[in-house]
Every structure is written in structure tokens, then in C-alpha cells.
């Protein structure tokens, strides 16, 4: 008999933005885990080091704060030292699976109770390998694994995210959209049992333009000139999603958005 305690309950934290985002995870996550009763935490960390990329110290800080798996996206390559992190099995850090063969890193990780995978879209982004066909390939590779599969789909276009989720509805347990940093209000369980949301949101400065200082972003729009973006300051928001998975059917039982705020330091 499946007991309530054996049902995987996962917290997925939206894209961590720089120092403010890391602070939010560090200070809010311990109590959040107790409150929600989650037994696994996943976070997208591709913007965690100064707003762009990852470093070893940042990865260790996030893991020490209570995150179990770090997913990424197109900004994963922004700090060169990430290559050594991705080449090592020591850190549970993923990069999108659909980068071409030979690219450093892994696109999924098999844990005791479930599998976490990472894919990247192609619309309005670097046109890497097709996420649909590469996901089919990954599912064939994992056919002997009788575990729920949760996917961070890092993509820009809503249509691509929805198409990906419906194509794999019933074949994976959850598809969490990331990348745009703005949470959507469409969390639901699709007809065949896959939990879905178009975008989880972000964990970073609340008074910002997707995590960055508004004045810098506005200047770029007004002038069309290159501008060095800076992570904003002030109040911090942690946004995420909590999903429960039936370990027998591998279907989602529930999906719920969460948001917490942290006063400026």
C-alpha cells in the first residue's frame, strides 16, 4: 500500500537571480520545506552567479541551502568554470539534454524516487537539437526505470512549452516552464496526468525587470545600445511550484504555485 509519506512531493524553485535570489533560498527554504512537507527540492540556477551563469562557490551555496538538484538553460555557459562543474559527477547540476552530443554535462539525473530532466526550447533561442525528438530518445534510454520524471523545460515561447507538455502528457509526471522569470497562472494537470505550468517565475528582486535593475533595462530599450545589466536591489521574492506525484501511476496528484517575500537586507 502506498502511504502518504511515500508520495514524492517536490518543490521547484523558479530561476535564482544573483545574490538576492541566493539569500532568499538560504533564508526561506528551511522553513518552507517544513511548511510544505516536501521531500525533494529542485531549483533553476542558471542566473545565480551575478545574474548570469554559475560558479563552484554558488553551486555549493545553493546545495548547502537545501536544494537537491540544480537545473539550468541557455545562460549556463556564461561563467567558464561551469565546464568543470558539469564534467564532474560530484554536483547534481544539469544542463539541457538537447545540446548536441559531446557538449559537457548531463541532461538528466536518476534519483532514488524519481528522475529530473532538463530541456531547452528553440523558438527565439539558439537553435540547438530538437527537444521533442531528444526527449523521445531520453525516454527510450530510461525505459527500464520505473520512476516519475520531472522536466524543467527552459524556453521562451508559450506555444512551444505547451506543445512540449501535451506531446509528453502521460509519459512524464511534470513539465515546469522556466526562462521568462514571470510566473503564469495556468498551473494544471493535463488530461493524461502530467502537471504543467508555462513559467514558474523567479527567485530574486521583486522591484525589477525580470531580476535586473529597471533603469539599465529601460536605457537599452530607449537607446538600442548595449547596456551592462545589474541585479536589482530591495525586497526579494521566492516563486515556485509544489507538485505531488503518485509513485504507482506516475501521474500528478496536485500542483500549486507558491510565493514568499523577504525584506531587503
- Among all residues, which ones are annotated catalytic? 75
DSSP-derived secondary structure for the chain: ---GGGS-EEEEE-EE-HHHHHHHHHHHHHHHHHHHT-SEEEEE-TTTTTTS---HHHHHHHHHTT-SEEE--GGGGSSTTHHHHHH-TTS-B---TTSPTT-SS-SEEE-SS-EEEEEE--TTS---S-HHHHHHHHHHHTTT--S-EEEEEE-S-HHHHHHHHHHTBTTBSEEEEESS----S--EE-TTS-EEES---EEEESSSBTTB-HHHHHHHHHH-S-----B--S-EEEEEEEEEE-TTT--EEEEEEEEEEE---
CA distance 214 to 206: 11
Amino acid at each position: 500500500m502506498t502511504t502518504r509519506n511515500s508520495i514524492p512531493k517536490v518543490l521547484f524553485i523558479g530561476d535564482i537571480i544573483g545574490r538576492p535570489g541566493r539569500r532568499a533560498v538560504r533564508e526561506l527554504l528551511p522553513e518552507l520545506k517544513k511548511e510544505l512537507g516536501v521531500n525533494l527540492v529542485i531549483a533553476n540556477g542558471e542566473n545565480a552567479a551575478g545574474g548570469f551563469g554559475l560558479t563552484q562557490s554558488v553551486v555549493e551555496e545553493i546545495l548547502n541551502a537545501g536544494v537537491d538538484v540544480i537545473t539550468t538553460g541557455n545562460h549556463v555557459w556564461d561563467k567558464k568554470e561551469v565546464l568543470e562543474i558539469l564534467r564532474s559527477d560530484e554536483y547534481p547540476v544539469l544542463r539541457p539534454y538537447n545540446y548536441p552530443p559531446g557538449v559537457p554535462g548531463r541532461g538528466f539525473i536518476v534519483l532514488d524516487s524519481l528522475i529530473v530532466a532538463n530541456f531547452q526550447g528553440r523558438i527565439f533561442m539558439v537553435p540547438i537539437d530538437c527537444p521533442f525528438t531528444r526527449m523521445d530518445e531520453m525516454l527510450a534510454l530510461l525505459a527500464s526505470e520505473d520512476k516519475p520524471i520531472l522536466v524543467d523545460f527552459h524556453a521562451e515561447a508559450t506555444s512551444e512549452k505547451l506543445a512540449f507538455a501535451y506531446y509528453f502528457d502521460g509519459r512524464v509526471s511534470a513539465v515546469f516552464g522556466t526562462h521568462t522569470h514571470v510566473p503564469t497562472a495556468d498551473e494544471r494537470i493535463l488530461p493524461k496526468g502530467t502537471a504543467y505550468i508555462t513559467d514558474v517565475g523567479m527567485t530574486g528582486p521583486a522591484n525589477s525587470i525580470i531580476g535586473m535593475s529597471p533603469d539599465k533595462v529601460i536605457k537599452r530599450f530607449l537607446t538600442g545600445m548595449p547596456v551592462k545589466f545589474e541585479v536589482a536591489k530591495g525586497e526579494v521574492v521566492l516563486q515556485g511550484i509544489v507538485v505531488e506525484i503518485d509513485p504507482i501511476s506516475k501521474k500528478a496528484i496536485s500542483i500549486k504555485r507558491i510565493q514568499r517575500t523577504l525584506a531587503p537586507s
